[in-house]
Structure 1
Amino acid sequence: MSVLVRDWRRGWQQRSRLERIDLYSRVTVSTMPWFFTLAWQVTPFKSDIRHEPLPLFLGLALLVVSLVQCLLNSLNIRPAYRHYLGTSVFPRRRQLPPLVLILVSLGLLVALVGVDGVNGSGLFLMVINMPTAFATTQTLLVPVRTFLLQALALAALGVGSLAAVGVRGGPLGGVASAVLLSCLIILVSVRPSAWSLAVMWQAEEARDLQARLAVAEERLRFGRDLHDVLGRNLAVIALKSELAAELAQRGRPEAVDQMVEVQRIARTSQQEVREVVRGYREADLSTELAGARGVLSAAGIECEVRGTTGGELPAPVQAALGWVVREAATNVLRHGDPRRCTIRIGSSADEVVLQVENDGVAAAPDGAAGGLGGSGLAGLRERLRALEGSLDAGPAGDGLFRLTATIPLSGTETRTPSRTKPGAGTEGTGAEGTGAEVTAGTEEARVVPGPAGPTALREERR
């Protein structure tokens, strides 16, 4: 029971949907024997058990043993689920006390029938409750065929024990059917629940694996692109540098020409690398809208895009809004428990407005549920500020969270976030690369001579 208490302390809102289903299934299966015991084991006290010291003592002892079995089942159900899901191995010795208790229950029931002559519905209820707690855990630990054979063995043991104290005819047949019915109820209730959880966890693992494979594939593609861009040029630079060194050792003026060619190839390579990296960093608005809709729909969140897709907007505006959509979709997935997300895009002659609104936002400190203090939104504000735009984000009431990005359209064709605000990006938005690019370009302009530099050097050496 302490395991269940610790499990609940994590909070319902802090769990993913699959974790909630997992917890709900385990708690339901754990409480089911308690319900059966209190319903079936207590009822015979009203009319079937004589209110005399010995029968009452045996009945109470049988009830206490049943409650202890329920407690052991609550402690064993979590490791039993893990055993069924294949994440750990259930220690078989933990099933030994419940097995002993079920034999004790049978002994107390036989003694009660022998002393009090309990028969009819009272006997049926006590017999059907007897294997419930033990079977709830056992059905997760053994194959179905083995479980059914064990149920038959328990039914045979119960029939033989009660026949020894004089139970005959219909009541004896009811004992066998009660034991088998109890085991079948547990089998069809617990086993499909665990099987459904196993399928859902496998699907979740498959999605995680697919995401990791996609990242690995993207890394390989990036590596291939860089190799294609730099491989040949670096080989040429190495050969020409070696040739220039040999010519310089011989005092030949052609060494300068070779170094000028090395410089040209290095500059070309630098520009090509920038183009490759820029292609990975730039965010296209229509692509990001489609990606956000697909990702949110795959997570079970209904996503609706209203208004234009932004194809007529200037490229800098599309790129900035694409980053806003990407960050907003990430926050919707990470925070709260959303079921619906709406993305609206509206534009006029003066400005374009992007609004992302989602439900399922729980009360949380700043930074949660789309947090106002997150570094991702801070980076977006820097990007939009480079275009004289603004970003507002915060709760909108009724469990809604709304993010609004506004960018004026006047003069945006001549402004780009990467050139206007060097290093504006922050971690989590992908904008850090923009600042690095501008810095690198600035350093190049400062330390690398232009075309006139090598020419002057060549004329000087001549």
Structure 2
Amino acid sequence: MNRTVRPGEAGTTRTVRPVAEHEGRGFGGMSGPGYEGRRRTRTGRADIYGRGIVYAASGLVPLVSVCIPVLLAVPAQPLPLVLAGLVTVVASALAGAGIGAVRQALACHTHRGTAPWTRLELCAGLLVLLLATFVGFAALVGPDGWAVRTALLFAPVPFATPLAMVVPVRVYAVVSGTSVLLGAALLAVAGQTGAAVASASVIMLTGFLLSACVGRFGAWSLSLLRELERAEGTEARLAVAEEQLRFESDVRDGLGRKLTVMALESELAVQMARRGRPEAVDRMVEVQRLARMRGARRTRPSVDTGRPGCGTNS
């Protein structure tokens, strides 16, 4: 909405574009009534792009990194095909649950929602199931080492990214260590050597650290963008209030000058009437004309511009 205000005396025009605080479906949502307004501003577009990057990093990248190596390595045999399909389904479910948890965690990070504990529990269960099925697939098929390392690096991301947004660093460190130990235990049960277990543990720990960086920095940067958007809205509303105050001052000054002229004209008409001069009637007519025509022509437009809804272009 563009508000154009025209002061009566100055003859200038100023357009102020207020930025409203749009309330969509929470800070983590990308749709709703606020989305259409936010995407028209620079900060709103940056907010949407940044949120999309966080969603992709926490859901789509792990899904691709886990599923593609499995699908490329699966042989045309019944059992490996079943395990590969199970890994794909579990990884897809984990990516979807992770994106939902990230969305709710972003809302919680800005103190506008509750922590996604239920979704985090779901992500944790799906992560354990994914690691178990992937270890079973790796033990049966034996994919390349890069495929195993890539899967172990990105598999914890959908669970760890939203977790890093809502828990303290110490709690996150404990959860990360526990998850790495659980993954190492699964690899040891699957018959992996000590070197392979140690290498996989380091890779999983790196994935948790990467998730912490993505989650913390993403939530922090999006919070800054929202605060900047609020500041822009406040600045725009202050600019509108300043214009209205200036217009009110102009109206008062204009009315003061007009009343002064009318008072002088009236005083002159009184003096002429006392002396019996016929020009007194002309002076009173002039005062009446000033009161009706000049005041209505010059003062009313300025007063109207100060009213809510006047001079507004949608």
Choose the corresponding residue for 1:195, options 208, 220, 224. Answer: 220
Q: Secondary structure at the match of 1:166?
A: coil
User: How far is 1:37 from its partner?
Assistant: 1.7
Are residues 1:423 and 2:300 paired?
Answer: yes
Q: Secondary structure at the match of 1:88?
A: coil
Counterpart residue number, 1:366: none
Choose the corresponding residue for 2:62, options 33, 36, 55. Answer: 36
Counterpart residue number, 2:249: 279
Judging changes above 3 Å, is the alpha-carbon distance between structure 1 residues 7 and 15 closer, same or farther for their aligned structure 2 residues?
Answer: farther
Counterpart residue number, 1:72: 97
Between stretches 104-113 and 59-68, larger displacement belongs to 104-113
Which structure has the higher relative contact order (CA within 8 Å, separation 6+)? 2
CA deviation digits over 1:226-283, x for unaligned, max 9?
xxxxxxxxxxxxxxxxxxxxxxxxxxxxxxxxxxxxxxxxxxxxxxxxxx99636479
Q: Secondary structure at the match of 1:38?
A: helix
User: How far is 1:11 from its partner?
Assistant: 3.8
Distance in 2 (CA, whole Å) between partners of 1:116 and 1:196 is 42
Counterpart residue number, 2:128: 103
User: How far is 1:188 from its partner?
Assistant: 1.7
Distance in 2 (CA, whole Å) between partners of 1:80 and 1:99 is 15
Counterpart residue number, 1:184: 209
Distance in 2 (CA, whole Å) between partners of 1:58 and 1:187 is 30
Counterpart residue number, 1:114: 139
Matched letter for residue 217 of structure 2: P
Distance in 1 (CA, whole Å) between partners of 2:294 and 2:82 is 83
Distance in 1 (CA, whole Å) between partners of 2:37 and 2:152 is 37
For the 8 Å contact 2:251–2:299, the answer to whether it is kept is: no
Matches of residues 326-405 of structure 1 in structure 2 within 5 Å? Answer: none
Q: Secondary structure at the match of 1:89?
A: coil
CA deviation digits over 1:311-365, x for unaligned, max 9?
xxxxxxxxxxxxxxxxxxxxxxxxxxxxxxxxxxxxxxxxxxxxxxxxxxxxxxx
Choose the corresponding residue for 2:174, options 137, 141, 149. Answer: 149
Q: CA RMSD in A?
A: 3.9
Judging changes above 3 Å, is the alpha-carbon distance between structure 1 residues 104 and 14 closer, same or farther for their aligned structure 2 residues?
Answer: closer
User: How far is 1:171 from its partner?
Assistant: 2.2
Distance in 2 (CA, whole Å) between partners of 1:31 and 1:207 is 28
Q: Which runs of 5+ in 1 are unaligned?
A: 223-275, 284-415, 433-462
Q: Secondary structure at the match of 1:6?
A: coil
Judging changes above 3 Å, is the alpha-carbon distance between structure 1 residues 213 and 110 closer, same or farther for their aligned structure 2 residues?
Answer: same
CA deviation digits over 1:378-430, x for unaligned, max 9?
xxxxxxxxxxxxxxxxxxxxxxxxxxxxxxxxxxxxxx985644523464x33
User: How far is 1:62 from its partner?
Assistant: 0.9
Judging changes above 3 Å, is the alpha-carbon distance between structure 1 residues 100 and 419 closer, same or farther for their aligned structure 2 residues?
Answer: same
User: How far is 1:177 from its partner?
Assistant: 1.8
Q: Secondary structure at the match of 2:31?
A: helix
Judging changes above 3 Å, is the alpha-carbon distance between structure 1 residues 85 and 73 closer, same or farther for their aligned structure 2 residues?
Answer: same
User: How far is 1:6 from its partner?
Assistant: 3.4
Distance in 2 (CA, whole Å) between partners of 1:173 and 1:141 is 29
Counterpart residue number, 2:114: 89
Counterpart residue number, 1:296: none
CA deviation digits over 1:139-188, x for unaligned, max 9?
21212332232122111111111111211143222211221121222222
Identity across the alignment (%) = 23
Counterpart residue number, 1:45: 71
Which has the larger share of helix?
2
Counterpart residue number, 1:170: 195
For the 8 Å contact 1:62–1:108, the answer to whether it is kept is: yes
Give aligned pairs, total. 243
User: How far is 1:84 from its partner?
Assistant: 0.8
Judging changes above 3 Å, is the alpha-carbon distance between structure 1 residues 20 and 282 closer, same or farther for their aligned structure 2 residues?
Answer: farther
Choose the corresponding residue for 2:149, options 124, 132, 138. Answer: 124
Counterpart residue number, 1:230: none
Distance in 2 (CA, whole Å) between partners of 1:155 and 1:278 is 68
For the 8 Å contact 1:55–1:115, the answer to whether it is kept is: yes
Distance in 1 (CA, whole Å) between partners of 2:294 and 2:200 is 80
Distance in 1 (CA, whole Å) between partners of 2:307 and 2:81 is 77
